[in-house]
Amino acid sequence: MIEAVIFPLIKIVIVFAAVLVAVMYVVLLERKVQAWVQVRLGPMRVGPHGLLQPIADALKLFVKEDITPVRADKWVFTAAPVIVLVPALIAFAVIPFANQLSLFGYTIPGRVADVNVGLLYIVSVASIGIYGIILGGWSSNSKYPLLASLRASAQLISYEIAVTMTLVTVIMLAGTLSMVGIVNAQLAKGWWFAFAQPVAFFIYFVGGLAETNRAPFDLPEAEQELVGGFHTEYSGMRFAFFFLAEYANMIVVSSVATTLFFGGWLAPFPNVSWLSWLGYIPGWAWFGIKTFVFLYVFLWVRATLPRYRYDQLMRLGWKWLIPLAILNVVVTGFLKVLL
């Protein structure tokens, strides 16, 4: 009884809280990393080195006036930010942070749930998030946010295809759709799938950048764009939801990349004897480190690259990434049969 109900509940609360705190601090991390790349310091005033900045931002967004456009569709206008945020958060239900944790005599699996179709669950949940973007633009009852939101969602749908194709190759190698199963397959095979499937990893990462509307694919929400983007009419807490959802999506993409391609909670070099001390670092710490590395690369890319124009972006996704991903599937299939 306890194990079946109470532990998952506690885990849900912990994961939820951890993700929200992580999202807030990723925002600060982005400002700091961008600042240091650009020869400046970033937030420094609120707390030591700006560490309390996210709390100040959260407070500000809480107390801001909630403006609803007069002719906006009230229900949809309220629902849109929720529809964007919830999928980003519930995707964490199947991500394995560690193998087994032994606490107070119980062995607790290091994940909220192990669904046998875990990987597809994450993809399907992400596709629901697209509704929030479309509805956010539409419910503002203004033609520019509507057009911007439709473009953003078209971008998301296009890159979803390429990303899903790369996940197919991972499934082919692992033989299972369960996230835990994929990590265990990497343990069994002795090498991480990033080295077995470098093309898939590359496409996944580029697709992940496009899925989360990050540079260089962030034209739909760029300040230099003509239209204000799909969240123009949102202010206060509602805007905060869109904002949080984007960063939560970033963390989801990074976590999934870690789990699928970089061994999840596994320590690197398990077979090298003089590096066996790496095994003493707990699994969840490895997971955290690897996810952090991916997040850092997200931020790094944003600070460095200019942004693609929308038609170039779509051309890249449809004419380059999707054929490459499909080719990758075919080649993997051949190799799997031959070897």
Partner 1 sequence: MAEVITFYVLAALILGFAALVVTARSAVHSVLFLVADFLCVAVLYVVLQAQFLAVIQVLVYAGGIVVLYLFVVMLVNLKRPAEAYSDPNRLGRLGLAMSLAVVAELGAIAAYGWVKPDGPASTLDAANVEQIGMALYTDYLIPFEVASILLLVAMIGAIVLAKREM
Partner 2 sequence: MSHVPVQTDAPRPMFDTDELVINMGPQHPSTHGVLRLVLRLDGEKVIDADIVIGYLHRGIEKLCENRDWTQIVLLTDRMDYVAAATNNLGYVETVEKLYSIEVPRRARYIRTLLSELQRVASHLVWLGTHAMDIGAVTVFLFCLRERELVLDLLEEYCGARLTLNSMRVGGQPFDLPPDWAKKVLAFCDIQDRKLPEYEHLLTQNRIWLERTRNIGVISAAEAIGIGLCGPPLRASGVNRDVRKDEPYAAYSEFEFDIPIGTRGDTYDRYLVRLEEIRQSLRIIRQAVAGLPEGPVMAKVPRLIKPPAGETYHAIEAPKGELGYFIASDGKSVSPYRFRVRPPSFCNLQALPRLVKGHLVADVVALIGTIDIVLGEVDR
Closest by CA position to 187, among listed 284, 263, 101: 263
150, 134 contact by CB (below 8 A): yes
Q: How far apart are the first and last CA of the chain?
A: 46
**Minimum CB distance to partner 2 smaller for 124 or for 312:** 312
Q: Is the peptide bond before 216 cis (omega within 30 degrees of 0)?
A: yes
Site residues for partner 1 per CB under 8 A: 73, 76, 115-117, 120-121, 123-128, 130-131, 134-135, 138, 146, 150, 153-154, 157, 176-177
Closest by CA position to 295, among listed 264, 252, 259: 252
Is residue 34 part of the contact set for partner 2 (CB under 8 A)?
yes
- In angstroms, give the least distance from the CB of 97 to partner 2: 33
**Minimum CB distance to partner 1 smaller for 28 or for 122:** 122
Q: Which two tokens stand for residue 226?
A: 């003509």
80, 132 contact by CB (below 8 A): yes
Long-range Cβ contact pairs of 333-338 (< 8 A, separation 24 or more): 333/172, 336/172, 336/173
* Binding site partner of 226, from partner 2, partner 1, none, Cβ cut-off 5-8 A by kind: partner 2
- In angstroms, give the least distance from the CB of 176 to partner 1: 7
- Using CB under 8 A as the binding criterion, the count of chain residues that bind partner 2 stands at 24
**Minimum CB distance to partner 2 smaller for 167 or for 316:** 316
**Minimum CB distance to partner 2 smaller for 33 or for 173:** 33
Is residue 319 part of the contact set for partner 2 (CB under 8 A)?
no
- The stretch among 198-206, 268-276, 286-294, 305-313 that binds partner 2 (CB under 8 A) is 305-313
- In angstroms, give the least distance from the CB of 300 to partner 2: 10
**Minimum CB distance to partner 2 smaller for 132 or for 207:** 207
- In angstroms, give the least distance from the CB of 224 to partner 2: 5
Interacting residues of 209 by C-beta distance below 8 A, sequence separation 6+? 215, 216, 217, 298, 301
Is residue 303 part of the contact set for partner 2 (CB under 8 A)?
yes
Among 274, 280, 306, 339, binds partner 2 (CB under 8 A): 306
Is residue 38 part of the contact set for partner 2 (CB under 8 A)?
yes
- In angstroms, give the least distance from the CB of 316 to partner 2: 9
Per-residue contact string for residues 184-223; x = within reach of partner 2 by CB under 8 A? -------------------------------xx-xx--xx
Interacting residues of 288 by C-beta distance below 8 A, sequence separation 6+? none
Q: Which two tokens stand for residue 81?
A: 């930010």
SS3 track for 54-71: HHHHHHHHHHCCCCCCCC
Alpha-carbon distance of 266 to 283, in angstroms, equals 6
Alpha-carbon distance of 77 to 59, in angstroms, equals 22
| Positions in the binding site for partner 2 (CB under 8 A) | 34, 37-40, 215-216, 218-219, 222-226, 303-312
